[in-house]
Structure 1
Amino acid sequence: MTLKKREQIEKPLQKHGGRLGKGEEYCGTCYGAEESDEQCCNSCEEVREAYKKKGWALTNPDLIDQCAREDFVERVKTQHGEGCSVHGFLDVSKVAGNFHFAPGKGYYESNVDVPELTAEGGFNITHKINKLSFGTEFPGAVNPLDGAQWTQPASDGTYQYFIKVVPTIYNDIRGRKIDSNQFSVTEHFRDGNVQPRPQPGVFFFYDFSPIKVIFTEENRSFLHYLTNLCAIVGGIFTVAGIIDSFIYHGQKALKKKMEIGKYR
């Protein structure tokens, strides 16, 4: 451990600008993000929360005394190249909206979700969707994003899915009703090298269709079966009659030509 590091741990930076003295109570600075003169930020997390409330991005956490003492930057670097697996359920209103996966915690500035963390070289948002559905599964349902996989070609960017959700009702043969949804999707990638620079992450924008689809299972009657059977038999006889007529008239014409001496 270096001397500077030991000093940061044993004598953290005080709000007044000096180091913690003997018998003095610790009250860390919020680096200008204080909401009041009495507010203290004694940890890296408290500094980050204060910045979020102000709508500021923490671009240089290595210069924050609390973050340096807690090895925040080193812990972030050790996670470089790692991924994550997300599983769960999300309740959404039946209006247009979006949900997304982005690195770090975000904050809102001018109604825009801004990422807290930045990375040199950008973030790799390569991803695979094992399963994504809207509502309860029902027989015959097809979710177009199940098993979808995408590998990021550029250094940074935003991958967007635009989903059109169609409300669906499935009534099975036992009278059970399933309220669910189907959806279609289009995809788009925004390169991170353009201006304004998009937020890195995977975004799902969804909208609900005003049309509802209803599936109903029904038993077909025996009369319906007989009607189909008669139609099939009638079709077979019709085709057989056409073939028989073609062969008969062909043979008759050939025999007539042979009789008049055209074929010897």
Structure 2
Amino acid sequence: MIFSGKLKSLDFYRKIPRDLTEASFSGAGLSIIAALSMVFLFGMELNEYMTLQTTTSIVVDRSSDGDFLRIDFMLNFPALSCEFASVDVSDVLGTKRLNITRTIRKYSIDPNLKTTGSEFHSGSIPKINNHGDRDLGEDNGDDSVALTSAQFDIYSQQYDIFVVNFYAPWCYWSNRLKPSWEKASNIIKERYNPEIYRRIVMGKVDCTLENALCRRHHIQGYPSIRIFRKGNDVRDNHGHHEHESYYGERDTDSLVAAMEVLASSLPKESQKLALEDNSTKVVTQRAAPLTSGCRIEGFVLVNKVPGNLLISANSLAHSFDPSQINVSHVISYFGFGTKPPPTSLYELRRLRPNLGESYNRLAGKSFLTHSGDANANVTIEHYLQVVKTEVVSRRHSREYKLLEEYEYTAHSSLVNSFYIPVVKFHYEPSNMQVLITEEPKSFSHFITNVCAIIGGVFTVAGILDSILHNTIRLVKKVELGKQF
């Protein structure tokens, strides 16, 4: 009994007998208001506790040394042929990679940017070692048929195999090919009399005189050797032409061997031709571009230093007329790093509404010029400042990465040049990065706030009730005093 009495003396919350307390309407009203306030404030505090808190800071790029930067893109070129479209990269460290093909895909497109067939062969054009005969000997004259637009359609319908050299007189490579072409044409003419058998004939087109004819067949580099098979040149399919391009050696023996194989009616997929001396060379015959446009998509891995991504018409065995090269383009996608999945972007934008708005800043933008006018020979340059953004979480006392993305700013310009026009993406990664840290609130902080809410509302309600009750009693006393 003594122990229980001492224990009761420690009670902070001594009770007043119920008979000594008095209930009131004002107290009941304040109690209801206080209870509703407690529930409302408790709900707000619980929502705040469940919401993750983020902090943003600028730190030195935490990437490991030797990490590569991935560049993903999908670019549409309405006037650049897939045949010569080349993707090159270079950087300030001296790294250069030309005509990247392993991670790049090309598709012929029409002026409306719609694909016109399956993937265009994205392999590199084979290196041509023999651009002509070493010992040209005497001039054999002009044995190949010089064609005009009117004659071209007639010959293509009369002969089973119609091989045409599209050239330009000012072109160095065209002039190197000319003697071999004429000599090979003379040999084929003697072996297959075109006036009798009509199996094969070799012709030539001067693109400086027959500009419209060359544009119709999407000739952008000189010389371009096209192989037409009777009945395969489809003219009613929106202007598309189905034929092949010859990428083999350009000496007389190689040309004659190629013509022999064509004349022997081998399947047009055949790519291996045996020369007369029984040595074997691979002469690549590939489908010629269906249209003059090309969609280039894929990715490249580059060093994380300032550098350039170039798209241009490029070949080691062809010449280009800069005034006829148009690098107008429409950008469907251009971004750095791995493209964030939509689900991750949704969750992260919930945390930070502005996050992820600049990882594809150039999407949907068009950069168009027109050949043959004041805007010809235009190089289009894009200057990109790249900043890495990293989002990490520190839940359960551990730090792990939620997302890593690269945002960038873009400034573009059109530059007139005497050289072959190119599209240049100059990128410059920043040595700083944005670090967004996600930190949950502690449970102790939540409990402390809940106790403060309940105790504070209860105390404030009690004070208001006391003030209201005493005021009512005072008013009643004043009224009773006035009555007496």
Output the TM-score relative to the length of structure 2. Answer: 0.30
Among 89, 104, 117, the alignment partner of 2:299 is 89
- Structure 1 unmatched runs, 5+: 1-11, 20-57, 108-115, 231-264
Corresponding position: 1:127 with 2:337: no
SS in 2 for 1:132: strand
Q: In the aligned structure 2, how far is the partner of 1:171 from the partner of 1:198? A: 47
Deviation at 1:185, TM superposition (A): 1.1
Identical counterparts, % of pairs: 22
Q: 1:71 to 1:161 in 2, by over 3 A?
A: farther
Tell me which residue corresponds to 1:178.
403
Q: In the aligned structure 2, how far is the partner of 1:178 from the partner of 1:219? A: 17
SS in 1 for 2:388: strand
Q: In the aligned structure 1, how far is the partner of 2:432 from the partner of 2:314? A: 38
SS in 1 for 2:300: coil
Q: Is the 8 A contact 2:390 2:401 kept in 1?
A: no
Q: Deviations over 1:189-215 (max 9, x none)?
A: 1013xxxx2430111111111211112
Deviation at 1:218, TM superposition (A): 4.0
Q: Is the 8 A contact 1:190 1:198 kept in 2?
A: no
Tell me which residue corresponds to 2:174.
62
Q: Deviations over 1:89-122 (max 9, x none)?
A: 1000011110111112269xxxxxxxx5322633
Deviation at 1:83, TM superposition (A): 1.2
Kindly report which structure 2 residues correspond to 1:10-21, keeping only aligned pairs within 5 A, or say none: 14-18=133-137
Tell me which residue corresponds to 2:381.
160
Q: In the aligned structure 2, how far is the partner of 1:167 from the partner of 1:67? A: 55
One-letter code aligned to 1:171: V
Tell me which residue corresponds to 2:338.
136
Q: In the aligned structure 2, how far is the partner of 1:201 from the partner of 1:72? A: 29
SS in 1 for 2:174: helix
Tell me which residue corresponds to 2:109.
none
Q: Is the 8 A contact 1:103 1:117 kept in 2?
A: no
Q: Is the 8 A contact 1:61 1:72 kept in 2?
A: no
Q: 1:13 to 1:186 in 2, by over 3 A?
A: closer
Higher relative contact order (CA 8 A, sep 6+): 2
Q: 1:117 to 1:13 in 2, by over 3 A?
A: closer
Deviation at 1:180, TM superposition (A): 3.2
Q: 1:83 to 1:221 in 2, by over 3 A?
A: farther
Tell me which residue corresponds to 2:368.
151
Q: 1:183 to 1:67 in 2, by over 3 A?
A: farther
Q: 1:117 to 1:67 in 2, by over 3 A?
A: farther
**Total equivalences in the alignment:** 169
One-letter code aligned to 2:337: G
Deviation at 1:181, TM superposition (A): 1.8
SS in 2 for 1:61: helix
Q: Is the 8 A contact 1:163 1:185 kept in 2?
A: yes
Q: In the aligned structure 1, how far is the partner of 2:132 from the partner of 2:315? A: 25
Q: Deviations over 1:98-150 (max 9, x none)?
A: 0111112269xxxxxxxx53226331111011001110234242221111111
- Structure 2 unmatched runs, 5+: 1-130, 139-169, 185-201, 208-212, 220-290, 346-354, 454-484
Q: In the aligned structure 2, how far is the partner of 1:104 from the partner of 1:164? A: 27
Please identify which structure carries the higher strand content: 2
Q: Deviations over 1:47-94 (max 9, x none)?
A: xxxxxxxxxxx9343322357779797897521571111111100001
Q: Is the 8 A contact 1:61 1:67 kept in 2?
A: no
User: Which structure has the greater CA radius of gyration?
Assistant: 2
Among 415, 422, 425, the alignment partner of 1:204 is 425
Q: In the aligned structure 2, how far is the partner of 1:87 from the partner of 1:199? A: 22
Deviation at 1:219, TM superposition (A): 4.2
Tell me which residue corresponds to 1:261.
none
Q: In the aligned structure 1, how far is the partner of 2:204 from the partner of 2:403? A: 48
* Deviates most, 72-81 or 148-157: 72-81
Q: In the aligned structure 1, how far is the partner of 2:361 from the partner of 2:369? A: 20
Tell me which residue corresponds to 1:32.
none
Tell me which residue corresponds to 2:315.
105
Q: Is the 8 A contact 2:325 2:420 kept in 1?
A: no
Tell me which residue corresponds to 1:190.
415
Q: In the aligned structure 1, how far is the partner of 2:307 from the partner of 2:429? A: 9
Corresponding position: 1:79 with 2:79: no
SS in 2 for 1:62: helix
